Every structure is written in C-alpha cells, then in structure tokens.
Amino acid sequence: MKDLHPVDLSAHIGTLTLKNPIMPASGTFSEDLADVFDLDVLGAHVLKTIMHGTRTGNPTPRVCDMQSGMINAIGIPSKGIDHFRDEMLPYWAAFKSPLVVSISAHSVDEFARLCGEVSLPGVTAIEANISCPNIEADGNAFAMRPDTTHEVVTRLRAETDLPLWAKLTPNTGEPVEVARAAEAAGADALVTANTMLGMSIDIGSRRPRLGNVMGGMSGPAIKPIALRMTYQCARACDIPVIGCGGIATLDDVLEFLIAGARAVQIGTATFQSPTVMARLITELHGWMTERGIATLDEIIGSIEAPEAGVFE
C-alpha cells in the first residue's frame, strides 16, 4: 500500500465543506435507504423535492425501462411544508451529514414563499428544483430559459441566507445562458442536471408506457448529456458545479470531476444498486490512495485539450 499521503476527500461547494463529494440526487433518496447502509457516510443528504401544499403526484404507471436507463413521471407527490417541518426535519437534522432541501413551485411567488419557510435551523442548503419536467405540461420549467431562471432565482435569493443551489435542465437549448442567469441572480452553486424529457410506447396496446405520457429520462444513457452540460457550465461560470446524470461507477465520478464538477449526485444508480453511494466513496478513496492524490483539487477541472488530429 502506498498510503504515505493521507487522502482528503473533502469537497468544497462555496462556503460549505462536505466530507466527500458523493451525495444522492433529489427524488432517489429517503430515510428508507437507512435500511441498507449508514447514511452518515454520505457527503450530504439531498431530499426529494417538497412543494408548499400536498400533492398526490401523477397517475401510474410512473416508471418504465429504457435501454441503459429509465423514464419517470412520478410528479412530485408532496406532503407539504408542515409535514416537512414537523416530521421530516427532526429526523434528518439528527444526522452528521449536512441536509440539502429541494423545493419547487408552480409560480415565482409560491416558490419564494416556500424558500423562506424552509430556511430553518437544521437545513444546510436549499436546492431549487427549477427543472422538473413532470410538473408543467410538455416538460416546461423555469430553467428552460435565462429570463425565467433569472427571475425565480433572484426572488429565492432574497428569501434565504442559506447556500442556494439551482438545479438546471438538459432540455434547454441555452444551457450556458441559463447557467449564467442563475449565477447572476445569486445562486451559490449549479446542479447539472435534472432528467431529460422523453417517452415510450407499448406497441401491443399502442398506449404510452407512462400514465403521464411523457417523463424524465435518467441513468447511464443520458450521462454524456449531463457531462457535457457540467463541462459547459463549469467553463462558463465561477460558482461551483455539482454533476448529476447517469453516474453509476467510479469512472463516471472521475469523468464529472475532471470536467469541472466539485461534487456529484447519484440517482438512478441507487435504484439498481442501493449500496452504490457507499461503495463509490470507498472506491474513490482507494483510487486516490493508489495514485498518491491527496485532494480532489488535483482532479477537479483537470481536463486536457483533446488529442485532435488536424487536417491540412
């Protein structure tokens, strides 16, 4: 063993220091995972998006398979802010890992009000889900356009002193402009990215495989899209970027870090293998130890120029 240099897995997201860069993606994590491993090993806990009131979510079927991935149209069932404050927050605040609360809303006013209301002791940061494709018709979301992104993030910023992360969407044609709008409006970090709008049809019945017709694609199939967006945003913005999208292996984690991500979120991979996040932390530590890499700074943003053949 070349364990001469102790390895420090700390990830720095603005003013926050996480003990390692591995955290769950919103919507793929709950207290139920504590049945499988010790959740305090995680760099942070990111909860499923809450909305202000109660919501039942979309009709079933809510998920379907696709090649190397899945499509979901869960539709954010929510028990509302009161349930979060009274029931969920005491449970999560007892862990050592910092708590990141994901929020969303239909209108800017409702979003801003919720942001203020969840800024409670025990909450470490707020992730603004401005990119869920399952709330509005045809996958529409604030983060589709720079102007709506700027408007909503400005209002959220005014409501909280907590670190504010903006979760972006790969469905926009203007990812860099949207990222810059979020940064200009005061976001402390970007999460790239949410699911990509898709659909699937059963040819036998000719029915859509999802009750809500369209849904968000996730898993290894969309990893190159999320990686591309992570690279674009890290290059265009000064605030930290957190990679998210199809990450399942140590190689995937390293790819996102090299592209410029300061930490990563693991989502769909947990559905296939609920032990994956715990294993990735151990594997990343082992990989750095073997190579004598002391900190993540030696990896983050270390992407080299392509070895490009030039035609005369």
The residue count for the chain: 312
40 versus 290: smaller Cβ distance to other proteins: 40
Is the four-CA dihedral 114, 137, 60, 267 of positive or negative sign?
negative
Decide if 76 contacts 57 (C-beta within 8 A).
yes
Residues of each annotated binding site: 26, 48-49, 72-76, 129, 167, 194-195, 219, 245-246, 267-268
Is 132 noted as a catalytic residue in this protein? yes
CB of 76 to other proteins, least distance (A): 9
Amino acid in the structure at residue 300: I
d(CA 13, CA 2): 29
Residues of each annotated binding site for FMN: 26, 48-49, 129, 167, 219, 245-246, 267-268
76 versus 156: smaller Cβ distance to other proteins: 76
* Residues at the contact surface with other proteins, assessed by CB under 8 A: 27-30, 32-38, 40-41, 48, 56-57, 60-70, 72, 74, 77, 219, 270-275, 278-279
Residues of each annotated binding site for substrate: 48, 72-76, 129, 194-195
Give residues with Cβ within 8 angstroms of 128, minimum separation 6.
Answer: 102, 103, 104, 111, 115, 152, 153, 156, 164, 165, 166, 167, 187
Six token digits for residue 286? 């082992």
41 versus 184: smaller Cβ distance to other proteins: 41
79, β-bridge pairs: 54
189, β-bridge pairs: 165
CB of 36 to other proteins, least distance (A): 5
In the chain, how many H helices and how many E strands? 9, 18
> Per-residue DSSP letters for 73-113?
-----EEHHHHIIIIIHHHHHTSSSPEEEEE--SSHHHHHH
CB of 9 to other proteins, least distance (A): 14
Amino acid in the structure at residue 268: T
25 versus 227: smaller Cβ distance to other proteins: 25
94 versus 294: smaller Cβ distance to other proteins: 94
56 versus 107: smaller Cβ distance to other proteins: 56
d(CA 109, CA 237): 27
d(CA 42, CA 40): 5
d(CA 263, CA 279): 16
* Catalytic residue selected from 64, 115, 132, 237: 132
**Backbone phi, psi, residue 65, to 5°:** -75, 155
Six token digits for residue 59? 């009709």
User: What amino acid positions are annotated as catalytic residues?
Assistant: 132
